[in-house]
Structures are given as C-alpha cells and as structure tokens.
Amino acid sequence: MASNAGIFFAGMGTTFIILGAGFGGGLMMAKSALNQPIGYRNVASVPEPPSAVRTVLPTSAEAAQPPQPSPQIVAAPQPPSEIRPVKEAEPVEKQVEKIVTRKAEAEQRERRKRYAERKAKWKAEKAKRELQIEQAERQDAPIMAFSGDERRQSAGFGFFGN
C-alpha cells in the first residue's frame, strides 16, 4: 500500500504538469497570433482596386427640371380656393419621443401587472402549502406510545429520526 505522502506528491506533480501544458499551449497560440509572417497581408487591409466603370453623378448646384405636362391632358383652370393657414406640425423628434415614452409606459404597466399576478400566485401557493402542512401534522398520530400527542420534531429531512 502506498504512503499518504507519495499519493499527495503524485497528485501535485500531475496537477503541475497539466497546468504547465495548458499555459504553454496558450503562450504558443498567443505568440503565433501576435507575430504574423512578414509577407502576410490581411485581406481587410488591402485596398479594393478601382472599378473599370466610371460613374458620373449630376452636380447638386443644378436646379431640378419641373415635369412637363403632357399635351393630351388639358386641364381647366381651377378657381383659387380659400387659402387657410397651416398649423405648424410638431417636429418629428417630438413625435418620436412621445411614441417612445408611450411604449415605455405601456411596457412598464405590463411588467407591473405580470409582477402582481406572479406575487398573488406565489402567495396563494404558499398559503396552500402551509394549510397542507397543518393538515398533515393533525393527521400524523404518534405510532409509539411514548408520551402522547406532542409534535414530532425533525430537522426537515425525516431521515434522522426525532
């Protein structure tokens, strides 16, 4: 039979060998990632060669040409209608902000509602468990006639007796 010291040192030696192999492998992988070969080029760093097709975009200084009415459609001149002042619309940012706040408030209400439902369910289950425990204690009568109707005291496990 081997001695306790021999077993201890064998376990320690095995542990150091495993740790050394792990650190050594990690060091080798880190060095290979940091020291890339000289002729190696990263694909992302190579600029894309210019395309053979040349694209000419119109300058923004030119005015846009209004659409020409087709000669087939002859519209009767409309009498000028009553011109009403247009209410200034709220900026888009404020509209978006209102929508976002409404959504956040709705989500918060939903979250509170779910929390209240879970809490009520949890309390109902707890009351049900307590009621079952009380009924079980009333039904448990002592099997041995040691002392009468006093409660059994267990550590909650029931494995180790009284």
Q: Would you list the domain boundaries of the chain?
A: 92-138
The full DSSP string for 8-63 is HHHHHHHHHHHHHHHHHHHHHHHHHHHS--TT---GGGSPPPPPSS---PPPTTSP
Place of tokens 């918060």: 108
Q: Is the predicted pLDDT of residue 134 greater than 70, yes or no?
A: yes
Instruction: Report the alpha-carbon distance of residue 111 to residue 107 in Å, rounded.
Output: 6
Q: Is the predicted pLDDT of residue 98 greater than 60, yes or no?
A: yes
- Whole-structure pTM value: 0.29
Structure tokens at 121: 């369910």
Q: Is the predicted pLDDT of residue 97 greater than 60, yes or no?
A: yes
Contact 152, 138 (CB under 8 A): no
Lowest-confidence pick of 21-30, 82-91, 107-116: 82-91
Structure tokens at 127: 């009351």
- Residue 135: its pLDDT value, please? 85
Q: What is the pLDDT of residues 137-159, one digit of tens each?
A: 777 655 655 555 555 555 555 56
Q: What is the pLDDT of residues 39-80, one digit of tens each?
A: 666 655 556 666 667 676 766 666 667 667 666 655 555 655
Query: Which amino acid makes up residue 73?
Result: I
The angle at the Cα of 138, spanning 135 to 144, to the nearest 5 degrees, equals 140
Contact 151, 137 (CB under 8 A): yes
Q: What is the arithmetic mean of pLDDT over 118-142? A: 87
Give the model's confidence band at 30: pLDDT under 50 very low, under 70 low, under 90 confident, else very high. confident
